[in-house]
């Protein structure tokens, strides 16, 4: 084996996934339960701050582009996943108010 095959990959990259997701960050290889994964640490607003870390199976990767830290940060800033917004899901209808049963009416139960 050559040195390149033995050295795990790591570096600043733009990671594009099959689900049309694009992330920028620091990518490293890792093993979990005997399987290989790519870990991406997406940078936060401040230097040294990690916004999030995610693990992806290499089979879900469409493209991995090594780049400068500035390019990775620009992609990360423009593609931050946001929490779920209410507009993504319709509001549940409010529960109907049941009429009170008069004592005189028979209960079906």
- Structural domain includes residue 23: yes
Query: Average pLDDT, whole number, for the chain?
Result: 79
Domain count, the chain: 1
How far apart CA 25 and CA 98 sit, in angstroms, is 54
DSSP letters of the chain? --HHHHSPPEEEEEEEETTS-EEEEEEEEEEETTEEEEEEEEE-SSTT-EEEEEEE-GGGEEEEEE--HHHHHHHHHHT---PPPGGGSPPPPPPPPPPPPPTTSPP--
Q: Is 91 inside a domain boundary?
A: no
Residue with tokens 């049963």: 101
Among residues 16, 78, 82, which one has the least CA distance to residue 45?
78
Q: What is the pLDDT of residues 34-67, one digit of tens each?
A: 899 999 998 887 776 778 888 999 999 999 999 9
27 assigned to some structural domain: yes
Confidence of residue 69 (pLDDT cuts 50, 70, 90): very high
Is there a domain that residue 102 lies in?
Answer: no
Which domain CATH number covers 43?
2.30.30
Which residue did the predictor score with more confidence, 28 or 92?
28
pLDDT, position 101: 52
96 within domain boundaries: no
Q: Note if the pTM is more than 0.85.
A: no
Check residue 7 and give its pLDDT: 84
Give residue 88's pLDDT: 61
What pairs with residue 34 in β-bridges?
none
Domain-located, residue 46: yes
Write down the pLDDT at residue 4.
Answer: 54
Residue 70 structural domain: 3-82
């Amino acid at each position: 084996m050559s040195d390149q095959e033995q050295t795990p990959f790591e570096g600043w990259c733009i990671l594009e996934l099959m689900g049309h997701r694009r992330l920028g960050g620091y990518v490293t290889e890792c093993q979990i339960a005997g399987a290989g994964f790519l870990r991406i640490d997406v940078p936060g607003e401040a230097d040294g701050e990690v916004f999030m870390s995610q693990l992806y199976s290499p089979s879900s990767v469409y493209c991995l582009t090594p780049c400068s830290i500035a390019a990775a940060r620009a992609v990360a800033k423009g593609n931050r996943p946001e929490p779920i917004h209410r507009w993504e899901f319709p509001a549940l209808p409010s529960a109907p108010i049941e009429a009170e049963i008069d004592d005189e009416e028979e209960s079906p139960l």
